[in-house]
Structures are given as C-alpha cells and as structure tokens.
A and B are shown apart, each in its own frame.
Chain A
Amino acid sequence: MVTEYKEGSVGAEFNKREFKVVGTRPPRPDGVDKVTGRALFGADFTAPGMLHATVLRSPHAHARIVSIDTSGALAMDGVKAVVTSEDFVKQTSSGNQDTLDNCMARGKVFYDGHAIVAVAATSVKIANAALKLIKVEYEILPHETDVDAAMLDSAPVLHEGRKFRNIPEGNNANVSGYWEFGHGDMDEGFAKADIVIERSFKTAATHQGYIEPHATLATMGPDGRGEIWVCTQGQFMVRDLAAAFVGIEASQLRVTASEIGGGFGGKTTVYLEPVALALAKKSGRPVKMVMTREEVFRASGPTTSSSTDVKIGMTKDGRITAGQAKLRYQGGAFPNITAMLGAMTAFASYDLEAVQTQAWNVLTNRPKQAAYRAPGAPMAIYTVESVVDELCQKLGLDPLEVRLLNAAKKGTLSSYGPTFDEIGLVATLEAAKAHPHYAAPLGPNQGRGVSCGFWFNFAGNTSVSMNINEDGTVAVIEGNPDIGGSRASISMMAAEELGIPLEKVRTIVADTNAIGFNDVTDGSRVTFAVGLATIKAARAAIQNMCGRAAQIWGIDADAVDWVDGAAVPTGHNAGDFPPMSLAKIAADSAKTGGPIAGHFEVNADGAGVSFGVHLVDVEVDPETGFTEIKRYTVFQDAGKAIHPDYVEGQMQGGAVQGIGWALNEEYIYGEDGKLQNAGFLDYRIPVASDLPMIDAVILEIPNPGHPYGVRGVGETGIVPPLAAVANGVSHAAGVRMTELPMSPPRILAAIDGAK
C-alpha cells in the first residue's frame, strides 16, 4: 500500500513529475534465473585444475601463537600450498592491517574460530585431513567476551601496547573508541521534567544470517595477474583489499561479483578472498574456498552487543525535556565505529533542547563485527524508545501522541549535529495513528508496542555507464551487487528517463575492470546513488541523441527536446519534423558519428535520512514466556518507491530480522570463551510459521537530493522492531523487559520475579 504525500518539496535535484514506469510492480529481472537454478552464486564457480582450500581455526578464545609447523600438511599427497600471515604484505593503514589480521591471525589469536592457516589441496577431504597435521603451539591467555567486563581494569588486554586515539583518561586499554554528541544544558533540561526515568539495557550480538555462506574462487597467473569470483557486497572493496594484501596493483586484479544470497551488511569486508588469492599465487592453480555454516557463525561478522544506560525527563503533558544515553558496545577483537553510530542515532527521532550521548567501543575476544543493516542504531534506539514508552505508560499518555509532540521535523537541530531538511517522521507517525491497526482491540495476555526508527542513509562513490544499442535497446552497466532489487529499480529509472518501455532495458553488475569505482553496497545507497547516476547517464545519452537528431534535421542541437522516448523540435520555429525515436536514432548512429552512450561518475551526497514507525501486537504465554507476534505493521518514508514490491520487501525483511533480534537471536558464549551455537538450530532466526504477514505502508516524502525524490529504504526497517517488540512484550507480560533477546526463559523469569 502506498500513501501519497501531498506536499512535494523542490530541492536541488528533485522535480515533481508524473511517472510512467517508476512506481509500478513489474516482475523481477532475476526471478527466472533464481527459481530455475541458473543463477550463479559464490560457490557455483569452477575453473580447470581448481584446488579446494580449507582453514585451520583457533580453538581458543585468546592465545599467543608460539609456533606453527605446517610441514606435515605440506608433505601430504594432494596438498599444493599452505599460507599463514607470513604470506601477506604488511599494511600501512591500521584499519587494513586489522582486516588482514582478521583474515589470518598474526602472532595472536583473538577469538574462537580465528583463522590461522589455510591449505589448498586437490580435494576438500585432503585439505581437511592436512589441517589435522598442522602443529600450532599456543600460549593460552585469559579472555573476555562481555562488554562491561572488558572495560574493567582487571580485564585481559587484547592489543598490548597499541594506542587508540581520543580515549579519555580513566578507560582501560581495551577501549578503542570514544565519542560524544549533543547540545543544550542537561541539568536545566532534567530540572524542567515532571518525571525522569533511568534504565540500563543489554542487547546480544546477532548475526546477519544470510543464507549463502561466504564463497570465492581466485586465480593468479605467473604474470602476476589475478581474477576473483566472489559472493560480496562490493567487488571494488574486494579488489582493493585483496590486491593490497598480496601486493599487486588494483588494475592487475579483476573481481567479479556473483549473485548474492543475502548480505545485510555482512559481506562488506573480506575473509576468504585474500587467502584464496594468496594460495592461488603460491600454487599457480585456481583456488576455491567455501565457508561452512559453522565457520560463518564463528568467524564472520556478527553485529555488536551492547550495554546502555538511558535517562530521559518528561513533563506531565509529554514534552521530553532532556535525554541522555551512555552506550557501551563491543564488536570483537578489532576497533570499529558502530558505537559512534549508535550515539548519533539514539535520539534522532526527537526535537530536543537538551540531549547528550556518549559511546565507547570495547575490544573483546569475539569475531570482528561487520555491518548489519543500520549498524549501531537498532540497539541504541531500542533503549531510548523503551524509556519513552515507559514514560508514556507512567504518565498515562498515548505513545504516538507523545512522539508526534516531540518529533523531529524540517529545521530541527538533530541530536547528532546537522539540521534536518524535508523528513517524513511526522507523516509516518500520523499514518500509524490513523491506521486501523492502532485502534484494533487487544485480547488477554496481549500488548501493543510502538517504536520510531531512523537511519542516515549514504550515497558515496558511484559510476554508471549506459549503452544505446543499435536495435533500440539499452544496456545499463553498474558496479554494485544487487542485494535488494537494485537491477530492477535501475532499469526502471533508466526506462523512465529515456521514455522507453522497461523491457528494452537490461542492467548488469559489471566487474572491476569494466566500470568506474563504486563504494560497497551499503548505507541503503544503491537505489539512491546509482539511481541518480543512471538518470544523469541517461540525460547524457539523451543530449547526445538530441544532437544526432539535430544533425539529421539540420537544426541547432539546442532546438531539440526529448519527449516520450523521441527527439522532437522544441517548437514550430525550430522546424517541422516528426518525432525521431530512440530506436531510429540508434539504428542510424553509425552514420551520425558512431555508438551512443551516456555515463556519469560522482561522489554523491544528499542521500536523505529515513524514518519509520512500527506497530506490533504480541501475545505472551504467562506460563512459558513464549511470545507470539499477532500483528505487525511497518510505516516508512521511502521518498519515492521506485518498485513498491521491493520497498515493501525491504520493510518486511527489516522487521523480521528485528523480531528475531528482539526475541531469540544471540551469540552464546561459554565460560571457555567458545561460541556454543554456531548453527541455525540454536541460533534462532525466525521461521515463516513464527510470523504473521508483515503489513507495509509506504510514505513518500520526496528527498530533495534525488531527481525522483528517492530515499534509501534498506536499513531503517530493522531499527524500530527491537523496541516495538520489547514494548509490546512489556505491556503483555506486565513487567518491563530490559535485556535482549527476550527469550522465553528470560520472560518467564521476569514474570515470576514480578509476582
């Protein structure tokens, strides 16, 4: 369902227009390949003479590597190459060195599952047998996996002697990052409040849970030229890191992205790719690597876990007078900035006079975190929206009215610094308030939860090329793997701008040598930034085609307009010629100067923030603590929904992942620091029968920064569910829940404890 928003705004890029293709729901272009099995995913690539490589991983949470003896493995029949950290090039940037050290441990292992040695052999079976012949001598060190415990002075230090920047006095050596944001006088703000609530919350680390494990095939010839085929969210990122790690130049490594079976942010870094390339270099043979599910859980990026203290003051009539949050995140053994994003987003939904957030990142003996949909925001906003809900509950106020009263809008100084332009929060809240869901009666043991959510969205480096084929069809070439329907949306925007039927356009994701640089597919950036570049590339091609028509007609190029897929004279004064179609201009292109193309390259800005509001009804079984999601409605500002099916899919998918995070998903570590649930049996993502249909209501408040008004929609949807479900459960169970996941044992203990 798409709700039209009446007041369009006019910005630098946006122009209100009637759409012909944009906003329709054509079949997805990758559908036939995916249902017939023809689509090629990461593990589907093979090459003649290919070897298979597997990885020896640390059984310890924290240990110094005293020695590694690979001679037994190398002596085995069928083993062709072995690599350790010694086989890679030392990096000048600490971020790249961390990524490399995560791919292959150097000197120390930091977590259970940390890669130490990789073996390439003629079969997986031989490679695995060879791993057993490798002797690693460890000096086992004390470990810590809990965020709060790792901040204590008694905690074992992970990176001894390494100095992190801008860390205030009083923090131990595991604190790798500290940030603060806000404005206004906190004491004055809290003094104005009629009620102040302070609460502490914890959230568990969760995994992106993509169904396709990491997989790659690498080759490298004696000429030093390499190729990688890989399941990734960014072929350019893979190229740059893998080339740097094995010491070749970017142009010598061509990386091709496969179809992708889910990423959600987790495939924006490298794990296997540099290792496969190093093994290919050493063996002279193609090398394939595919993670098992257990490896995916133990050694690829989960998100951060968190521990947060929140304090919010409110007047009796629902005005928030001050908001404060102290957020402590751990994202494993290497530095990251997810806590900073948490501190920026925590209060973003509110127009506040006094707001302060502080964030710490703490190193622990867990795998290096990777991005996961709106990284940092879900757990931060969960804590703030829980306290706002409790304030509403205590004051007897309607939670949507209170949010409307305090909502950020155009002109609001945001809690993280910038002043908001056109944003859709108020419209989204009003849509939720007016929806039948909000007025529906609740049954026994049921509760309704509400939460707002926010994400910045990103734009970034983008390149698009467009070739006008002689038969009147159009090839769009872009450089971002399609993780959420971008090929469909890009084709639709190209068809719209060119004025031709959608069937005439095909968009492909090109390799790193076939198109200019693109940032990884992250920040919900592709429909916005690649869409923008596609529209501008189409405009370049149109300008070229108008010139061709002018040449044929013998008039000035600026006397030609482009209307409905054809060149036309701007008016009678320009000449009296019938429209000349794209197909006609393309067919004659050899006679008018040669092939016609358009391209556009930009480091884009103006992505346009996105807000969402979620409503959920839950039922809690008071005897078992089991939570059933009875009804769920998502309201989100899409700016402009290019392909509403995909937009709704993003909103639904975000909600479902958030529901899993809220109810059951968690990394469970034992006292020994080992991960206990490295599989989908005991790492419980929701199954289809756990969920009702998620209703999606798209709001369209145009983003001034995009020609069609597009905002990214991929991430905001995972932000509100944690608090929405927690608020619903708290109402249904009659006790405030402050720790995720709200697994049945935890809910039952809370219910029994409150009796």
Chain B
Amino acid sequence: MRFESPDTIEQAIGLLNTCEGTSRVLAGGTDVLVQLRLALVEPELIVDIKHIAGMRDITAEDGGFRIGAAVSGAEMGEHADLVALWPGVVEAMELIGSTQVQGRATLAGNLCNASPAADSVPAMVAANAVATIVGPNGTRECPVADIPVSPSKTSLTKGEVITSIYLPARPDNSGDAYLRFIPRTEMDIAVSSAGVSLTINCDGVVTQARVSLGAVAPTVLVVEDASSAIIGTKLEDAAIATLQAACSAACNPIDDKRGTVEFRTKTAGVMAKRAALIAYSRAGGSK
C-alpha cells in the first residue's frame, strides 16, 4: 500500500488517475481507516488531501460559505457565522461519531462514503448544497443530491476529488434543522432521519421549503409533497400532519438489524415533523 500526501490538487488527481488498482482519498479518515481495519478494502494507493491549500478552510463567498473537503465537524461547529447561517447542516455534521471523530470527520468524506444513513447528507440536500469537483478533465459543480447513486457508490469518475462544498446564501427569516432517530443518544447510525430547510415571510407564512429524508431509501430522498404541504402555511397542525404523512409515504426502506420497514417509515415522518418545527422556529416563526 502506497501512502501519498501531495501539496497540490493536480498532484493528487495525477496520482489517483494513474493508479491501476483500488485507491482511496483520505481526508478525516474516519471511514477509510475503519474499512482498512475491518479488511473491507486493501487499497493500493491512499492519497491524503489534508495538506493541499484551501482544503481546511471555511471561506465566506457570495453570502454563503465554501467548506474545504478536509474541514472537520468540530471546526464547523466553532465557526459562529456558519452556524448562524446553516445551523441544521452543522448540527447534522456534529452528530457524527464521538468528540474524537468530530476532530477529523468531514462533510465531503461523509458524502463520498455514500451511506444511505449519512447524517450530513440529508441536511446538505435540504440546503441545496453544491459540491466542487476537480478531476482530470477540469473542474465541475454538482448538487450534493446527485453525488451518491447507491449505497457505497458515488457519481464521481476516476481521478475526481471533491475539493469543497458550497452552502449558498439564503434570504432573511430562513432556518434549517436535521433530526435522526437512533436507539441511544449518541455514537450510533441513523435508523431514519430528516432535514428541513425553509424560509418564512413577515407574517410567518412559509414561502420556500425543502424536505429530505435519510436511511429510508438507497439514497437521500427529496420529498416534494412534504415541502408543498407546508408552503403557504404557518405549520398549522393540519399542514404538519400532511408533511408527516407525505414523508412516510415517500419511504422505501429495508428491514434490517437496525430497524423494521414499519418503524423506519413511521419515524421518518416523525423526524420530519419535528425538524420542520425546529426550522420554523429558527426562521423566526412562532407557534
């Protein structure tokens, strides 16, 4: 196994593009190291991208924030302006693992691991986050929602690396939230989860909304029926009930040791309902 720690993205891409066997990009390593220890993968090449300029920076850009691919969850949590703008994305990232894992784990890594239960991904999808990808054919932008294609598979092609994730600007009176269900209080993997991002007007009426679900389908679901259920409402009980039912109806989960189809379907709706109420309150709405 070869371990490389290049200084430039071009070097990283060159290494990955010319590697004929299995390769892994290492940012925080909180998934890659586990895979190595469990002998799930024996890569020929590991490319550490932490030392490439910009990878560890959080940069304000056009009213939003660009988050480098090697920025840790703990660094995001300590960035007051980022937390103020996208509290739901930050709280989703900070739910991952332990304090020690938080010092390493990254948004981009969580996305590229392509787990249906990844915590940060539903929150990023609700936030309309966009990934910047650099590869042998140059730079492209891709909505976060289009990166995972199935469990453990992404749409990235050979030699491509996500260099940053952009969380866009948003209107005043906006809020987002992420909730997951786990059988204990931490150190666990979502059985079902929901991200909600919304904007309200001065009357407290929802003008924009985006609702996503995690761990209830092979990839994160965007539930249009759920967002349309609350747009134009003040999250009255009937609207919330419709959102909850729409979310449950959208679920297509599996039965496994972590939860039954029935349980995931029901709790996904409950998580979405509760996340919507938190997002609404963060947007300044009062109920």
Contact = CB atoms under 8 A, between A and B. Distances in A.
Interface of A: 623-626, 663-664, 668, 676-677, 681-682, 684, 686-687, 689-690, 743-745, 748-749
Given A623-B270, A682-B258, A748 B186 contact: no
Contacts of A748: 263, 266-267
Interface string B256-286: 0111101100110010000000000000000
A686 B270 contact: no
Contacts of B137: none
B51 to A, nearest CB: 28
Contacts of B181: 624, 626, 744
B188 A681 contact: yes
Contacts of A663: 183
A690 B185 CA distance: 6
B183 A687 contact: no
A689 to B, nearest CB: 4
Nearest to A669: B257
Quick one: which of B181, B259, B263 has the most chain A CB within 10 A?
A: B263
Nearest to B264: A745
Contacts of A681: 187-189
B184 interface: yes
A403 to B, nearest CB: 31
Given A626-B183, A668-B257, A681-B187, 13 more contacts: A623-B270, A624-B181, A625-B263, A664-B183, A681-B189, A682-B257, A684-B183, A684-B184, A684-B188, A687-B185, A687-B186, A743-B183, A748-B263
12 contacts: A623-B266, A624-B267, A626-B183, A676-B257, A684-B183, A684-B188, A686-B184, A687-B185, A744-B181, A745-B263, A748-B266, A748-B267
Nearest to A666: B257
A679 to B, nearest CB: 9
A677 B257 contact: yes
Contacts of B263: 625, 744-745, 748-749
A624 B185 contact: no
Contacts of B189: 681
B186 A744 contact: no
A748 B183 CA distance: 12
Interface of B: 181, 183-189, 191, 257-260, 262-263, 266-267, 270
Nearest to B39: A128
B268 to A, nearest CB: 11
Contacts of B260: 745
Given A623-B270, A748-B266, A687 B184 contact: yes
Main secondary structure, interface of A, reads loop
A623 to B, nearest CB: 5
A676 B257 CA distance: 7
A588 B109 CA distance: 72
B187 to A, nearest CB: 5
A689 B258 contact: no
Contacts of B191: 744
A689 B185 CA distance: 6
Contacts of B257: 668, 676-677, 682
A684 to B, nearest CB: 6
A668 B256 CA distance: 10
Nearest to A683: B257
A445 to B, nearest CB: 14
B187 A687 contact: yes
A690 B184 contact: yes
Nearest to B244: A623
A624 B192 CA distance: 11
Contacts of A624: 181, 267, 270
B253 to A, nearest CB: 12
Contacts of A689: 184-186
A625 B185 CA distance: 13
B113 to A, nearest CB: 15
Contact of A745 (B185, B259, B270): B259
Nearest to B34: A681
A99 B135 CA distance: 58
Contacts of A623: 266-267, 270
Nearest to A691: B185
Contacts of B259: 745
Contacts of B183: 626, 663-664, 684, 743-744
A92 B187 CA distance: 47
B182 to A, nearest CB: 9
Contacts of B188: 681, 684
A751 to B, nearest CB: 11
A682 B267 CA distance: 19
A690 B187 CA distance: 11
B183, B257, B266 interface centre (most CB from chain A within 10 Å): B183
A684 B257 CA distance: 12
State the 5 A-B residue pairs at the shortest beta-carbon distance, nearest first. Answer: A745-B263, A689-B185, A623-B270, A668-B257, A676-B257
B244 to A, nearest CB: 9
Contacts of A745: 259-260, 262-263
B180 to A, nearest CB: 11
A687 B263 CA distance: 23
A690 B186 CA distance: 8
From B184, B187, B258, B270, name the one whose CB has the most chain A CB atoms within 10 angstroms: B184
Nearest to A625: B263
A624 B268 CA distance: 10
Contacts of B187: 681, 687
Nearest to A663: B183
Contacts of A749: 262-263
A745 B253 CA distance: 14
A677 B256 CA distance: 11
Contacts of A687: 184-187
Most chain B CB inside 10 Å of its own CB: which residue of A623, A663, A684: A623
B31 to A, nearest CB: 13
B278 to A, nearest CB: 15
Nearest to B266: A748
A623 B274 CA distance: 11
A676 B256 CA distance: 10
A686 B185 CA distance: 9
A243 B183 CA distance: 45
A624 B191 CA distance: 11
Contacts of A690: 184-185
Contacts of A677: 257
Contacts of A743: 183
A703 B68 CA distance: 66
A684 B184 CA distance: 8
A664 B185 CA distance: 12
Contacts of A626: 181, 183
Nearest to A627: B183
A743 B182 CA distance: 10
Nearest to A743: B183
Contacts of B267: 623-624, 744, 748
Nearest to B260: A745
B258 to A, nearest CB: 7
